[in-house]
Amino acid sequence: MLKFIVRRLLLLIPILLGLSLLMVVFLHMLPGDPCGAILGEHSTPANIARCQHGLGLDKPLYQQYLDYMAGVIHGDFGVSATNKVSVTTSFLTRFPATIELTVAAMFLAIGIGIPLGVAAAKRQYSLFDNFATVASLIGISIPIFFLGLLLQYVFGVWLHWLPTAGRYDLGTFSYDHAGTNFLLWESLVINRNPAEFLDVVRHLILPAVALGTIPLAVVARITRSAVLEVLSEDYVRTARAKGLTSKRIDDRHVLRNAMLPISTVIGLQTGLLLGGAVLTEQIFSWGGVGNWLFQAAVDKDFAVIQSGALILASIFVVVNLIVDVGYAYLNPRIRYQ
Amino acid sequence: MKHRLRALLAVAALVFAACGGSTATSPIATSATAPTTGGTASGTPAAASGTPVATNGGTWVFGSATDPTTLDAILMQDGESIRIAQQIYETLVKLAPGSASTLVPGLAKSWDASADGLTYTFHLQTGVKFTDGTDFNADAAVYNVNRWKNLPEALQGDDYYDITVFAGYGDSSLIKSVTKVDDATFQMVLTTPKADFLTAMTLAPFSMQSPTALKAHNADKGSKDTSNDYWQKAPTGTGPFMFAGDFVSGDHYTIVKNPNYWDTANAAHLDKVIFKPIADSAQRLTALKSGTVDTIDFVDANQLKDVSSDSNLQLVTRSPLDIGRLNMNQNIKPFDDINVRKAISYAIDRKAIIDTFFPNGAAQAADSDLLPSMPAYAANATIAGYDQQKAKDALAASNCHAPCKIDFWYPDSVSRPYMVDPKGEFEAIRTMLEAVGFQITPQHLAWKGGYTGAEANGKYGLAFIGWIYDYADPADGPGIFYSTSLAKCGDVTPAKPHNCEAAEDNPAVVAGMAKAIAEPDAAKRTQDWKDVMALINADVADAPLVWAGSSLGLTKNIHGFVPSPTQTEYYNAVWKS
């Protein structure tokens, strides 16, 4: 197993090298550069020339790439051309926000999707099953931006129940951001302030619902089909014939075996969400990685796009590795070479 | 399983109960005591419609568009950085609140200019301290001015205002010397007269920063990293607010009241101002209407009615200081032909554009690159207005007969106060031009994809562009558009970059502008600019389209906000009820 993990991690090196090369080529094929974004109306030729010189964009492309990679090897991912904050600092500040949102969305997806899928499978073709199928179809089909805006309008603008932007009430609470930037953790465990915690939860609800709806629907559908498949297996019939209780059969045979495809989907969805829920973070002004990368792409902020892609690719590979390793736990017959 | 489900439902109920319960304390609920009708204010203090007695304390959450990009003052060039800097830093000379041109004392209580316009003596306020506890005095002022003059090379790529105002660094700078006279007096000597010098000194990039703080972070040594370290950790000025040490990129930037502010009569009312970046204007409006933020800037033209009709909100509109225009490059055919340029200018129905794209008074039809509020604006030296027949006649008299084929450039993925819907406005203008005999080939490029750079480099013949004045002076506008004559534009290289967007083919314009910029006498200078503008308008060097201002939306419980055409807005007078 250890050999397998090490080999997969070593594979990261060619993946990241290839990705960095592709990124640098693609980015420089696009028209414009960060100077156009920075200078706006002030883009006189003299100003552009000075700006490009300042950012090293007047050097040959290979030289820019080598300079960048030399920095990366030394742990320096560069500085944003637009807001001058180092990529590492921005990422470390923003990634906890994305993790918190992802966990909340996946909490909803798993917490509701799996029970929904199991219940639908066990009542196949019933009214409930039809309802669950239609609901999950809607969940998969509804665009996030539409759902996000709808939620904002209904619960924020119309009912005034929930906030529509940010991670906490800036006017009421303040957090020591020298800490973790995991606000749920900080408010509950470090500050031990239930009011703060509830405030953070209130800010989390709408984006988590918007982001979690598609994974929820996917998980529910996969769970339903996986459970249906397992329910028709011989060993389940044998278990029933042995007189085991329904709960025991579900827990020990059905769910455990159905979890293989479900965990794959959960792993992939989590990896995707960690890569930045661009639309959700944009709509809810969530200070996460997706929001950051989107703005960097708009501003042609090369350092942020390049480094962000490298970091997120690494995370995606690691999450998938964790899923693969999880298979072995769920199904001891699986052996990795 | 049933027990678990019940527990889950109970938790959900608790959370929603918390949501519902908290509405009672949300900003919107509190503002129920505010007046029940929506309101607008145009170029006037918002306090006029509010409660008369200011109260101290409270937190103002301001929905900005982006994070600040630097608060090392001399390197700032974007509005969001300047918005914050105007609260934590101060300049020697200030603009009177709400004014685009009236100078009032700042950190200098008075100043004298020599008759030749070369020497300026500043008499400084006394008893002023930076927020790090060090003294603001002539030594500090001299240190700052020397930093502008000798801006380290590593930082020059980030600079705009320093090079624009002082034309260079070191020996090339307009600043010949700066010397301390005594603790409260210092002198700046310029190499050539610059009539808009004092007005330029009101710009936030020319704020005074603590030399001690700059040195402590090695920001004076001239590396980008040390400059960033300085502004991200300890930007230090003398303003009524100071950095709270709380900057989370992408989430918020917080400033708090300076408890030791030197000008006690103008100390801040608010305890805290938090800037919350929300990039999308629709999301900013949603955040305002839901009570997540107290104020938003740059309300879109199509959102103005939404804000003004909301009983919880007030709309504040800045007097116009932005110009939307069609640039015509005389270096590219057929725009070298004055009759073609005339035909374009005559063909455009500016009122129709405003009615369609700038509802609710968001803009006015422009007949000059200057604004009527500028002394040099003269109604008798403006371009001719909409007249289709004259447009057809002019085109017939030109060398480009109908259908006269031209490329017409417009930017994608952008909205500016003077250009709210570039593609829509382009289509409208295209229809107007085709109605008089032009045949348009649409050309477009993303605003941040190199559009502005290519335009300034003189690559486009006809281009939709605009300008946001930093201060109400023609030097900051026509002085830039027409700064390079056609003769020089044939020779543009990276080493000799010229601003060739217009490539003005009239040496008298370039010469006249140089004379106006150097003229120290205000009256003579105004006349010089009138003469230059008459030449520019006679040449039809461009086609001005609209004069526009920007608008803010505020909740009704925010008072004392004074809008400025130049966005030189001081938050010390703002208070929250």
What digits encode the pLDDT tens for the residues B216-233?
988 877 666 777 888 888
Q: What is the pLDDT of residue B52?
A: 64
The pTM for the full model equals: 0.81
Q: What is the pLDDT of residue B24?
A: 31
Q: Which residues of A, range 51-70, sit inside 8 Å of B by Cβ?
A: 51-55, 58
Cβ-based contacts of A55 with chain B (< 8 Å): 157
What digits encode the pLDDT tens for the residues A228-281?
998 888 888 898 888 888 888 888 888 888 888 888 888 888 877 876 688 899
Is residue A115 domain-resident?
A: yes
What digits encode the pLDDT tens for the residues B299-347?
887 788 889 889 999 999 888 889 999 999 888 889 989 999 999 999 9
Is residue A20 domain-resident?
A: no
ipTM over 0.90? The verdict is no
Q: Which residues of A, range 118-147, sit inside 8 Å of B by Cβ?
A: none
Is residue A92 domain-resident?
A: yes
What digits encode the pLDDT tens for the residues B72-81?
999 998 888 9
The C-alpha atoms of residue A172 and residue A53 are separated, in whole angstroms, by 44
Kindly report which listed range (A190-199, B23-32, B447-456, B523-532) carries the lowest average pLDDT score.
B23-32
Radius of gyration of chain B from Cα atoms? Answer: 26
Domain spanning B323-548, CATH architecture: Roll (3.10)
Residue type, A213: T
Beta bridge partners of B553: B296, B315
The b/e string for A80-90 (b: 16+ C-beta within 10 A; e otherwise) is bbbbbbbbeeb
Q: What is the pLDDT of residue A218?
A: 92
**Would you tell me how many other CB atoms lie within 10 Å of the CB of residue A174?**
17
Q: What is the pLDDT of residue A335?
A: 63
Q: What is the pLDDT of residue B19?
A: 40
Cβ atoms of residues B555 and B27 within 8 Å: yes
B18 or B500, greater pLDDT: B500
Please determine, for residue B419, whether its predicted confidence score (pLDDT) is greater than 70: yes
Cβ atoms of residues B149 and B169 within 8 Å: yes
Strands B322-328 and B462-468, by their bridges, are: antiparallel
Q: Do domains B13-317+551-576 and B323-548 have the same CATH topology?
A: no
Q: Which sequence spans correspond to the domains of chain B?
A: 13-317+551-576, 323-548
Which of B445, B447, B448, B576 to mutate against chain A (most A CBs within 10 Å)?
Answer: B448
Range of the domain at A185: 88-273
Number of domains in chain A: 1
Please give the helix or strand (H or E) that residue B552 lies within, else none. strand B551-555
Beta bridge partners of B275: B62, B253
Is residue A19 domain-resident?
A: no
What integer is the mean pLDDT of B416-444?
92
Is residue A93 domain-resident?
A: yes
Tokens of B297: 């800037």
Judged by DSSP in three states, B404 sits in strand
Contact check, Cβ <8 Å, A202/B18: yes
Cβ atoms of residues B546 and B363 within 8 Å: yes
The C-alpha atoms of residue A74 and residue B433 are separated, in whole angstroms, by 57
Please determine, for residue B487, whether its predicted confidence score (pLDDT) is greater than 50: yes
String of DSSP letters for B80-107: HHHHHHHHH--BSEEEPTT-SS-EEESS
Q: What is the CATH number of domain B13-317+551-576?
A: 3.40.190.10
What digits encode the pLDDT tens for the residues B161-220?
898 889 889 998 999 999 999 999 999 999 988 888 999 999 999 999 999 999 998 887
**Burial class of residue B551, CB neighbours in 10 A (0-12, 13-18, 19+):** buried
Cβ neighbours of residue B90 under 8 Å, at least 6 residues apart?
B106, B107, B207, B208, B237, B238, B239
Cβ-based contacts of A46 with chain B (< 8 Å): 163, 497-499
- Select the residue of B1, B290, B452 nearest A41 (Cβ to Cβ): B452
A288 at B interface, C-beta within 8 A = yes
Q: What is the mean pLDDT of chain A?
A: 85
Which of A43, A93, A201 to mutate against chain B (most B CBs within 10 Å)?
Answer: A43
What is the chain A residue with the closest CA to B158?
A51
Is residue A231 domain-resident?
A: yes
Is residue A172 domain-resident?
A: yes
What CATH number is associated with residue A239? 1.10.3720.10
Strands B119-124 and B108-113, by their bridges, are: antiparallel
Is residue A191 domain-resident?
A: yes
CA–CA min distance A164, chain B (Å): 6
What integer is the mean pLDDT of A181-199?
87
* Per-residue DSSP letter, B111: E
The C-alpha atoms of residue A277 and residue A293 are separated, in whole angstroms, by 10
Judged by DSSP in three states, B129 sits in strand
Q: Which of B193, B198, B75 is nearest to B471 (CA)?
A: B198
Cβ-based contacts of A33 with chain B (< 8 Å): 450
% of chain A with per-residue pLDDT over 90 = 20
B119 or A93, greater pLDDT: B119
Please give the helix or strand (H or E) that residue B112 lies within, else none. strand B108-113
A178 at B interface, C-beta within 8 A = no
A30 at B interface, C-beta within 8 A = yes
Cβ neighbours of residue A14 under 8 Å, at least 6 residues apart?
none
The C-alpha atoms of residue B311 and residue B141 are separated, in whole angstroms, by 47
B92 at A interface, C-beta within 8 A = no
